Structure 1
Amino acid sequence: MSRRSLRLFFCGLAALLPVACAAPTSLDGPAAVASDAATTRVPIVYGSQRPLVELVFTGADGRERRVLAWVNMGAPTAVLSKNLYRELGIGAGRDLAFRIGEIGITVPAASVTDGPGELDGRDLFDLLFAPRRVEAILPASVLRRFTIVLDPAARTLTLAPPGTLKPTGVPIPIRVDPATGIATVEARAGETVLPLVLDAGAPYTWLRGTAVAGLLRLHPEWHRADGAVGHSNLAMADLGLERDGTLVRLPDLALGDLVLPAVGALGTGPMLGRVGDALVGEMFWDLWQRPAPIPVAGWLGGNVLSDFRLTIDYAAGQSTWQRQRPADPHDLDGIGLTLVRSGDDYTVGRVAERTGEPLVAGVEPGDRLVAVDGRPLRGAAPEVAWDALRGRPGTIRRLDLERDGRPVQMEAPVMPF
């Protein structure tokens, strides 16, 4: 792979798993809240288990354009689809102007990324969200200008001036990068301290593979499987990160006085193979953490954050956690397959294993998953595929597969993770 191809690959991968590749530009200068609205609350919809909000952009001709944007707390810069970037004249130096609810925001053109990148020739917005159309990322560098409230139960996002809200719940200090807005929290699993990025925009918690390997040396009983399954298979890309990842269940993850029970996490597999990663380190994480205020062990994703009404006061370096629902230790229970999304189809990247034994007999990597219990998957959104494979342990699912152009049908049990 050439140096240019490698850079494009990692830029695309970074947008996929939630960070932007362009170097961030501070928003303290040209960017500003443009309206007099003090507080706004907007509805959230979910696509592929990621929170989306509507933004209203103003084009060069003065017309308004309403688009869905991914609320990505791990992204340092605003990202637009290539078509929207050109339609709004950003490449010609026109600053990005948009509204979220009643608040107007301006972002300097130099701080806006042109397109989310591609993986295997597919636009990453399309790869992650199709058939839903998503055209922008609302990044941490914009969110940090406010106190925000993510309320999954009400499905709302609130933006308010810093220091104006009085949230209830457990206060947890955070560290915020002053330019990118990316926020980290110190977590503790057993004896191990894990600095983690807060990112409700990621469906599941991911950790460095080396961090998980260290945890398992101390607590081998935390191991659940090898290979990403369910929502931990959040990229659905043919990458070692997921295919060779390690699933763990942390009995307790402590954030100060707040104890999170039964937290599932994927320790990512080697990006460049075991030899490559041994030589150059965990390249994905080393690149991904650059906009963070400190070196991190991973991110805390939606499997945890969606249980809470989360208030983040970026200026005060404070988060407040109000639990809305109990933790779900069965959030990954399902058929043990690591899926790859290829065009409109889902193929098997790996059959998950436990103690070296495959959890689904008869299925092979490269098989196309056509349907589950008669439910067709071609052209379906990722959440449809995840939901089709989920279930109560012991339930039998019928899998319709295609192997070398031939139909194959078999039954597989739902496994606990």
Structure 2
Amino acid sequence: MKPGLTRTEIFLLILVFLAGGRGSHGSESTSTGTVPFIFDDNRVFAELAFVRPDGNLRKTFAFVDLGTAVMVLDERLREELQVDKQKFLSFRMGDLEVQVDSSAVETDSHLGVTGRDGKRNVPVEAVLSGSVLKNYQVVFDYTKRTLTIAKPDALKGNGDAVPCRVNPKTGLISVTAVIADQSWALAIDPGSAYSWIRNDVAERWVKAHPDWKRGTGAVGEANMQTRTDGAEARAIILRLPEVRLGSLELKQIGVLGIAPEAPPFPPAPGENKVQGNFFDWYSKKAPEPVIGWLGGNVLKGFRLMIDFPWQMTYWEREKDLDPHDLDQVGVTLEKRNDGYFIAGITEKDGKPTVDAIRVGDKLIQIDNITVTDATRGAVFAALHGKPGTVRMLIVERDGKQLTLPAKVVSF
């Protein structure tokens, strides 16, 4: 044998090495995908790129909601993508392509509008559901405003490790929370703007700890559904001194104790309608019966990684949570087809916190913020502030517009 390698042999070895390096790098790059998201109303709206039948990409924003059981598309987007003619719906998040069985995609024509900087100008055309994400590692980086999904074992978790359970059908997860030395099952729901608890449990807590109650009637992001059933106007605001998830300690957490009725439709495909209240219905989507969930008011303080395949969550604290997040003008809103209306006046210590505003008033403007031009998050932000600050509200009552003062109250 020759004592050494010729120049040609060395050159060929270099080519093989470089080719192998490129192949390895390509495999790694397609194991993860990261996209920006709009954070509005304590909710995540991620930028997705759907693959059209001609191979071109159609970018849009999707509401990321583990509480939605299936992928949802706006009716017009579904037609544009010709979903019914394709076996799979494909979209890209960064370099990673995701495929969803077209038969499992539902349609909705009222997915809403969001926007950056509180301006209501970005249509939401899809819902990215837990049933799609449950096969991946998923990272919500609330500080960087990015959403990352990765194939199993591609990412390493950082922060406090908290085991979770996963509903294999819907992808909704639950964890064990310790509150007042008692263990409870809570869902983790990035699609919910605020943390909600079933009312009977909240009332038990208030009976044992009267100082936990801060008011009656949802305000701010706790008023997240703005429905016309009156449930949010009757709900109670609580501030929990401590919630422990394994080694993770959460302090002064705001929750809403509420008792809505169960929706008139099944919680997930293949499930029956639920007789009972909203949380009985919601629990059918969760891995187990839950008393409620931790929502965006908690999650936004973290870089949260949900490792679905290994049923583990990782909580890397990025900022302290705000114990004054519900310092608001004391009104509960409801959303109708023609705008926001006052559904209730929030009470504190048994007394109404706003005098001039009446139930039924249509909300037109908050200081210089016109409600019709603002996102939900911007509306609640305009009603937020330092306790004692006076907001000037323009409302419509009996066909006339009135400009009325309303003070911000600490809840």
TM range (shorter): 0.7 to 0.9
Match of 2:141 among 148, 151, 154: 151
Deviation per residue, 1:127-149 (Å, 9 max, x gap) = 99954200111111221211121
1:76-155 mapped onto 2 (5 Å cutoff): 76-92=69-85, 94-115=87-108, 123-126=110-113, 131-155=121-145
Q: Distance in 1 between matches of 2:40 and 2:338?
A: 16
Specify which of 165, 169, 184 is matched with residue 159 of structure 2. 169
Residue 257 of structure 1, aligned match among 238, 247, 250: 247
**Amino acid corresponding to residue 98 of structure 1 in structure 2:** F
The yes-or-no answer on 1:194 pairing with 2:181 is no
Moved over 6 A (4+): none
Specify which of 208, 227, 234 is matched with residue 237 of structure 1.
227
CA contact (8 A) 1:187 1:194 kept: yes
Q: State the distance in 1 between where 2:93 and 2:368 align.
A: 41
Q: Which residue of 2 aligns with 1:206?
A: 196
Are 1:378 and 2:372 an aligned pair? yes
Moved more, 386-395 or 237-246: 237-246
2:67 aligned with 1:74, yes or no?
yes
Measured at CA, do residues 238 and 127 of structure 1 come closer, stay the same or move farther in structure 2, by a change above 3 Å? farther
Q: For the structure 1 residues 159 and 375, does the alpha-carbon distance in structure 2 shift closer, same or farther, using more than 3 Å as the test?
A: closer
Residue in 1 that maps onto 2:271: none
How far off its partner does 1:239 sit? 2.4
User: TM-score of the superposition, structure 2-length normalised?
Assistant: 0.85
Q: Distance in 2 between matches of 1:330 and 1:282?
A: 33
- Are 1:47 and 1:132, in contact at CA under 8 Å, matched by a contact in 2? no
Instruction: Provide the identity percentage.
Output: 37
> Which residue pairs with 1:320 in the alignment?
314
3-state secondary structure, aligned to 1:327: coil
Unaligned runs of 5+ in 1: 1-33, 117-122, 273-279
User: For residues 238 and 395 of structure 1, do their structure 2 counterparts lie closer, same or farther at Cα, with a shift above 3 Å needed?
Assistant: same
Q: Distance in 2 between matches of 1:328 and 1:236?
A: 22
Who is 2:214 aligned against?
Answer: 224
Give the drift of 1:407.
2.3
> Which is worse superposed, 100-109 or 45-54?
45-54
Aligned length: 371
Question: Do residues 340 (structure 1) and 334 (structure 2) align?
Answer: yes
Whether contact under 8 Å (1:45, 1:51) holds in the other structure is: yes
Distance in 1 (alpha carbons) for counterparts of 2:298 and 2:380: 18
Q: How many Å separate the matches in 1 of 2:126 and 2:341?
A: 27
Matches within 5 A, 1:389-400: 389-400=383-394
Given candidates 377, 399, 403, the residue that maps to 1:405 is: 399
**Aligned-partner Cα distance in 2 for 1:41–1:91:** 28
Structure-2 change in CA distance of 1:282 and 1:220 (3 Å): farther
Larger radius of gyration: 2
Pick aligned residue for 2:47 from 54, 74, 86: 54
Q: Secondary structure at the match of 2:315?
A: strand
Q: Is the 8 A contact 1:70 1:137 kept in 2?
A: yes
What are the superposed Cα offsets for residues 355-401 of structure 1, whole Å, 9 maximum, x if unpaired?
Answer: 33211012111101222224322332112211111100111122222
Alpha-carbon RMSD: 2.3
Structure 2 residue identity aligned to 1:403: R
| Structure 2 Cα separation of the partners of residues 56 and 127 of structure 1 | 17
Picking from 354, 362, 365, the partner of 2:356 is 362
Residue 400 of structure 2 aligns with an amino acid whose one-letter code is R
Is the partner of 1:228 in helix, strand or coil? coil
Q: Deviations over 1:82-107 (max 9, x none)?
A: 22223223345642111111111111
Which secondary structure state, in structure 2, belongs to the residue aligned with residue 316 of structure 1? coil
Q: Secondary structure at the match of 1:414?
A: strand
Tell me the CA shift for residue 241 of structure 1: 3.0
Question: Residues 169-200 of structure 1: CA distance to partner in whole angstroms, max 9, x if unpaired?
Answer: 11111011223221111112114433111112
User: Within 2, Cα distance between the matches of 1:352 and 1:99?
Assistant: 44
Contact 1:88 1:94 (C-alpha < 8 Å) held by counterparts: no
**CA deviations over 1:186-244 (Å, ceiling 9, x no partner):** 11211443311111221111111122122212212111111110011112221233122
